[in-house]
Amino acid sequence: MRASTSAPAQQRLDEIPLPLRLGTFVVVDLETTGTSPASGAMITEIGAVKIRGGEVLGEFHTLINPGLPIPPFITVLTGITDAMVAPAPLFAEVLPAFLEFCGGADETILIAHNAPFDIGFLKAAADAHSYRWPNYQVLDTVKIARRTLTKDETPNVKLGTLAQYFGVQEPPTHRALDDARATVEIFHHLLERLGNVGVETLADLQNFSHPLSPQERAKKSLADNLPNSIGLYIFRDSEDRPLYIGISKNIRKRVLTYFSPSETRSRMREMIALTSRIEALPTPTLIDAQIRELRLIQLHAPRYNRRSRFQERTLWLTLTDERFPRLVISKGHGALTYQQSAIGPFGGNIDADHARQALHSATTIRQCTPRITPTSIKKASACILYDIEKCSAPCIGATSDDEYSKVSEKVSNHLSVQAGEVVAHHFERIATLSREERFEEAAELRNHVTAYLRGFARSESLRAFSALEELIVAKFSDGSEEIEIARIRRGRLEASLTVATVNQISSGIDLLQSHQLDSVDQELIFPHSTPEEAEMLMRWASDEYARPIHIVGDWHLPTYGGAFHKNKVEKLAKPDVSVRANVREE
């Protein structure tokens, strides 16, 4: 092997011990509309600073349109107003750029002051938009400061108090980037203190800030016989019930991280205390492991897996099945068919409701909730929507069944076939509001139509992919000679395997096609699948390293479909996402 004369490459996190001077850290801070994503609070600003060896490598900053009004007390605290975030990008537009800035979980450690708050918000927002949050290791400067400083030195470990104690050059201001910069300085000051007591590696720092209990150390032996291969791992309690289901490219190595100081999540440490056995289920490919994880979580609903992963909670926008249909947000996917109009899945109630408001604005579908019967028509009175000609008032018998069916058929088309009219309606309204300088209202309409198009594009893609009778795909692993081959039928993974060379692909396909398969019900969109499984497989099969080898059916999307209109609408306001990098080459 030829010797290299270049500088040594940066060590990866799995090359423990990792010297702190070689680690890449991203210090992140958020501003939000409230204290918890569970209460509906949303992110309004992200600030992040990437550092290595005491040097700043780059900065990331953007305001975010939360899609809801900012409470007055938050505006007083941060200075962020509704007018400031109205032209800002949505979180779904920001997240890919932020994750790209951070880098992979195998090379980057996240740092935050009160990390459960900031990282908790980011994870919840990623889940709401169906993004898989990378398994970053996280350091909390609050915990480090508590272990490092005494009460005699600082009365508390609030960011402002620590900034004053250490005399940081850029004090916190309750704005994301300023607070992230202040946290960087505080982190460096804390490392100086800890270096005097022998804390020099990432493992030293994690053990210092979050030491393992004797019980946790004792249970580490549960991982002794686990394989070093791709697959699933299942933590089970004393009654053999699944507590948590996860996947990894290296099962044993991943499980061991739960018994290390790097595992700071209180729920995971609680789970470890209840664990009696850890089961390993090796799989031939990573996509196989990911799909089995989805199915097992759906089947067992383990208490320590994220609730948002449970597929019966996915939200769809559809028409009710009644005499005078209306738009409703429904959970689950069991009753969806090719004939039924529905869009989704949506990441949360806010997106689904925005999509519904977009259709209410563009059509005269009724918005009232009571079921209309001959008896109710005699007693009802029309609402203001009838007066402003936004509803034909079937509730009072002002329209016939045939006339109203034309309205519901039009809405049905907007849910399954044609999004253009809804977009044109909103373009016209947004242009009018902009000319009148009513920018906040224009931004609100943009949010509504963007949410509608996001749901429309997802369901359009899922229908096309899940209609394929059979799809065999070969994926060439990035940086590896191995080739994954998967057989997918009607949106469901049937089988997969790995081959070592291109010459073995043909024999691998023959092996996959030799499986005995059950008949498929042609009427259902997802006969043996779920939207989440189909979408995961679709992303995998659409990867730049994936190549379709065999297709039965037509895999196509309309040129001017939902994705086209979504991109067009998003250009109404270019994302104000700024990433400032050092001149130094990373």
The domain that holds 136 is classified in CATH as 3.30.420.10
Q: Which pLDDT does position 478 carry in this prediction?
A: 64
Same domain assignment for residues 486 and 422:
no
Higher pLDDT, 30 or 143: 30
User: Which of 12-21, 46-55, 431-440, 510-519 is most confident?
Assistant: 46-55
Same domain assignment for residues 185 and 269:
no
- Provide mean pLDDT across the span 20-30: 92
Same domain assignment for residues 475 and 454:
no
Average pLDDT, the chain: 84
Same domain assignment for residues 277 and 174:
no
Residue 567: inside a domain: no
H or E segment to which residue 541 belongs: helix 531-541
pLDDT of 490 strictly over 70: yes
Q: Which pLDDT does position 312 carry in this prediction?
A: 63
pLDDT of 288 strictly over 70: yes
210 included as an active-site residue = no
pLDDT of 438 strictly over 50: yes
- For 272-305, the DSSP string reads HHH--EEEEEE-SSHHHHHHHHHHHHHHH--TTS
Same domain assignment for residues 117 and 137:
yes
Same domain assignment for residues 428 and 532:
no
Least confident of 29-38, 118-127, 340-349: 340-349
- Provide mean pLDDT across the span 228-246: 95
Same domain assignment for residues 302 and 283:
yes
What is the band of 479 on the pLDDT scale with cuts at 50, 70, 90? Answer: low
**Residue at a domain's end among 258, 288, 309:** 309
**Residue at a domain's end among 309, 344, 370:** 309
> 220 lies in which domain range?
214-309
For the chain, how many residues are written?
Answer: 586
**Does residue 530 contact residue 298 with C-beta atoms inside 8 Å?**
yes
Beta bridge partners of 27: 49, 111
Residue 8: inside a domain: no
pLDDT of 179-206, one tens digit each? 999 999 999 999 988 887 778 888 778 7
Residue 298: inside a domain: yes
Give the end-to-end CA distance of the chain in Å, rounded to a whole number: 26
pLDDT of 379-404, one tens digit each? 888 888 888 888 888 998 888 999 99
Same domain assignment for residues 458 and 481:
no
Dist. CA 58–CA 44, nearest whole Å: 21
Residue 559: inside a domain: no
Q: Exposed/middle/buried for 11, CB within 10 Å: 0-12, 13-18, 19+?
A: middle
Same domain assignment for residues 255 and 347:
no
Whole-structure pTM value: 0.66
Same domain assignment for residues 293 and 268:
yes
Dist. CA 451–CA 33, nearest whole Å: 20
- Provide mean pLDDT across the span 68-80: 93
Q: Which pLDDT does position 262 carry in this prediction?
A: 67
Tally of domains within the chain: 4
Q: Which pLDDT does position 519 carry in this prediction?
A: 36
Long-range contacts of 520-526 (CB under 8 A, 24+ apart): 520/469, 520/489, 520/490, 523/337, 523/338, 524/336, 524/337, 524/338, 525/333, 525/336, 525/337, 525/338, 525/462, 525/463, 525/466, 525/467, 525/491, 526/333, 526/336, 526/462, 526/466, 526/490, 526/491, 526/492
Same domain assignment for residues 324 and 460:
yes
Q: Which pLDDT does position 212 carry in this prediction?
A: 67
Same domain assignment for residues 88 and 204:
yes
- Provide mean pLDDT across the span 147-160: 91
Dist. CA 200–CA 310, nearest whole Å: 41
Q: Which pLDDT does position 260 carry in this prediction?
A: 78
Please give the sequence-ordered ranges of beta strands (E in DSSP) within 113-167, or none if there are none.
137-140
H or E segment to which residue 24 belongs: strand 24-32
What is the band of 211 on the pLDDT scale with cuts at 50, 70, 90? Answer: low
Question: For residue 282, what is the domain's CATH number?
Answer: 3.40.1440.10
Instruction: From the candidates 61, 113, 129, 174, give the one annotated as an active-site residue.
Output: 174
Dist. CA 460–CA 374, nearest whole Å: 37
Q: Which pLDDT does position 13 carry in this prediction?
A: 44
Least confident of 281-285, 530-534, 555-559: 555-559
Q: Which pLDDT does position 166 carry in this prediction?
A: 94
pLDDT of 210 strictly over 80: no
pLDDT of 344-383, one tens digit each? 888 788 889 999 999 999 999 999 988 888 888 888 888 8
